[in-house]
């Protein structure tokens, strides 16, 4: 039941976000005097609608988005009635058209910022005082699972070498066989290179006191650290997991209403960098998505669709990690806001780019004393528009298919 509730919550959050996106276009267009004839939530057959003034509002059967119709978005549109020519969108100043076309993304950014601000006060934000990279403070496991399965220890599972040797939770590993350990990643690499079955000397720090003990690594099958999708091979492990936070350092920090403002700005900046890096990696992730669809292992770093986001929301709520629903809502809104501003038709960013191209071209021709070439012919751009739609549709279908037949799973079920 909780899983289904999480799926529904994320799906509804996405639908509401997209509906508000379209409302942003509609309200700004109306504010400038442009004519908006339709505003609908969903696609497909109409369930109900009503008309207020010159705009028809309604709900459609397929809850996968929404739309609003602004009259005369391009000079080639034939939806302008006699007497409304002056209200056609393309006739308005470029700055007004820019505000209208960017309003959808502004709504997404506003939703993300408000959610971050609320999260900073009531949920907590990542603690900036946490060292990066984390030192090798560890948690000690009770047993070793030779195949790397995600399950609880069972009778017959070999005991953890670290636990047998006397390591404890929150111990900080300083050195292994005399090799200094600077962080948890170095500990993992060093442990995997140890000869299995041969005692290793581990120097550690516990409550400010250093000590040494002997651990005999176990041989297990694990994926390579630098290739999570590669074939498993025999490596050594000592039975610790992490990295854990240093004792007394909280993972998150909550803020007051005023202090939450700079915290929101800082998190938004990190989100912007992360979104840029994620978008930059999309082309190289397509082969991994195809491999996931054709039977290979699903890379957790591959893009997800609305289907995948909803499933992750269900998993999060089912496992009691409701905070992940908030983070999903934030990241999805920010990503959609950025993506929608890309200078490609039919995205809003494409219309904005054309409007400013027309303005710059008119200015340049005027500077050269030449006749203004006028508006861009959108019909000539239709092949490029169709290509973007085709590529975008294929990518969406690929991610949705992967999320259905080979979804990303963050929790063992």
The domain that holds 149 is classified in CATH as 2.30.42.10
- Give the end of a domain, one of 210, 241, 272: 241
CB distance 137 to 182 below 8 Å: no
CB distance 292 to 398 below 8 Å: no
- Give the end of a domain, one of 214, 241, 268: 241
Give per-residue pLDDT as tens, 255-281. Answer: 999 999 999 999 999 899 988 888 888
Q: Are residues 156 and 265 in the same domain?
A: no
Q: Are residues 263 and 403 in the same domain?
A: yes
- 126-140, 161-175, 278-292, 396-410: which has the minimum mean pLDDT? 126-140
- 34-38, 131-135, 168-172: which has the minimum mean pLDDT? 131-135
Instruction: Give one DSSP letter per residue of 55-119, joined into a string.
Output: EEEEEEEEEEEEEEEETTSSTT---PPTT-GGG-GGGS-HHHHHHHHHHHHHHHHHHHHHHHHHH
Question: Does 114 fall in a domain?
Answer: yes
Q: Are residues 216 and 345 in the same domain?
A: no
Q: Are residues 232 and 266 in the same domain?
A: no
Question: Does 326 fall in a domain?
Answer: yes
What are the structure tokens assigned to 305, written together?
């669709």
What element of type H or E holds 38? strand 36-52
Question: Does 175 fall in a domain?
Answer: yes
φ, ψ at 92 (rounded to 5°): -80, 155
Q: Are residues 175 and 260 in the same domain?
A: no
Mean pLDDT of 10-29: 93
- Give the end of a domain, one of 241, 272, 291: 241
Q: Are residues 309 and 269 in the same domain?
A: yes
Global pTM reads: 0.79
Question: Does 231 fall in a domain?
Answer: yes
Give per-residue pLDDT as tens, 69-87. Answer: 999 998 888 888 888 889 9
Question: Does 357 fall in a domain?
Answer: yes
Question: Does 403 fall in a domain?
Answer: yes
Q: Are residues 211 and 318 in the same domain?
A: no
Q: Which residues are catalytic?
A: 22
Any residues with CB less than 8 A from the CB of 338 and at least 6 apart, and which? 105, 272, 275, 276, 279
Q: Are residues 123 and 143 in the same domain?
A: no
Share of the chain above pLDDT 70, in %: 93
User: Range of 298's domain?
Assistant: 98-127+254-413
Q: Are residues 196 and 327 in the same domain?
A: no
Query: In the beta sheet, which residues pair with residue 277?
Result: none
DSSP annotation of 244 reads: P
- 151-160, 197-206, 249-258: which has the minimum mean pLDDT? 151-160
* Residue 37: predicted pLDDT: 94
Q: Are residues 218 and 335 in the same domain?
A: no
Residues 54, 58, 62, 65, Cα dihedral to 10°: 60
Looking at the structure of the chain, the number of domains it has is: 2
Question: Does 155 fall in a domain?
Answer: yes
Q: Are residues 156 and 300 in the same domain?
A: no
Q: Are residues 371 and 327 in the same domain?
A: yes
Residue count of the chain, please give it. Answer: 413
Mean pLDDT of 211-233: 73
Question: Does 6 fall in a domain?
Answer: no
């Amino acid at each position: 039941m909780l899983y289904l509730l999480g799926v529904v919550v994320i799906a509804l959050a996405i639908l509401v976000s997209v509906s508000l996106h379209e409302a942003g276009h509609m309200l700004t267009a109306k504010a400038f005097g442009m004519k908006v004839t339709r505003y609908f939530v969903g696609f497909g057959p109409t369930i109900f609608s009503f008309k207020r003034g010159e705009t028809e509002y309604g709900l459609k059967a397929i809850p996968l988005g929404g739309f609003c119709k602004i009259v005369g978005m391009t000079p080639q549109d034939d939806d302008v009635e006699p007497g409304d020519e002056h209200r056609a969108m393309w006739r308005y100043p470029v700055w007004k058209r820019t505000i209208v076309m960017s309003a959808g993304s502004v709504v997404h950014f506003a939703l993300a910022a408000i959610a971050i601000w609320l999260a900073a006060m009531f949920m907590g934000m990542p603690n900036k005082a946490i060292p990066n990279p984390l030192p090798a403070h560890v948690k000690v496991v009770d047993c070793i699972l030779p195949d790397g399965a995600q399950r609880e220890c069972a009778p017959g599972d070999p005991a953890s070498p670290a636990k047998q040797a006397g390591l404890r939770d929150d111990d900080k590993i300083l050195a292994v066989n005399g090799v200094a350990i600077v962080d948890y990643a170095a500990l993992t690499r060093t442990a995997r290179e140890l000869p299995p079955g041969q005692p290793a000397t581990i120097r550690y720090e516990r409550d400010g006191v250093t000590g040494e003990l002997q651990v005999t690594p176990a041989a297990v099958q694990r994926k390579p650290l630098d290739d999570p999708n590669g074939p498993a091979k025999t490596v050594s492990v000592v039975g610790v997991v992490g990295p854990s936070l240093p004792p007394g350092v909280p993972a998150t920090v909550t803020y007051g209403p005023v202090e939450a403002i700079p915290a929101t700005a800082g998190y938004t900046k990190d989100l912007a960098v992360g979104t840029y890096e994620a978008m930059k990696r999309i082309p190289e992730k397509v082969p991994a998505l195809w491999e996931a669809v054709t039977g290979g292992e699903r890379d957790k770093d591959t893009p997800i669709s609305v289907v995948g986001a909803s499933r992750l929301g269900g998993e999060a709520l089912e496992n009691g990690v409701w905070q992940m629903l908030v983070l999903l809502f934030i990241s999805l809104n920010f990503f959609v806001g950025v993506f929608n501003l890309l200078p490609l038709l039919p995205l809003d960013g494409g219309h904005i780019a054309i409007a400013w191209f027309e303005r710059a071209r008119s200015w340049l021709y005027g500077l050269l004393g030449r006749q203004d070439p006028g508006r861009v012919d959108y019909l000539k751009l239709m092949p490029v528009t169709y290509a973007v739609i085709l590529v975008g549709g294929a990518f969406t279908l690929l991610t949705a298919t992967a999320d259905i037949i080979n979804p990303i799973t963050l929790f063992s079920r």
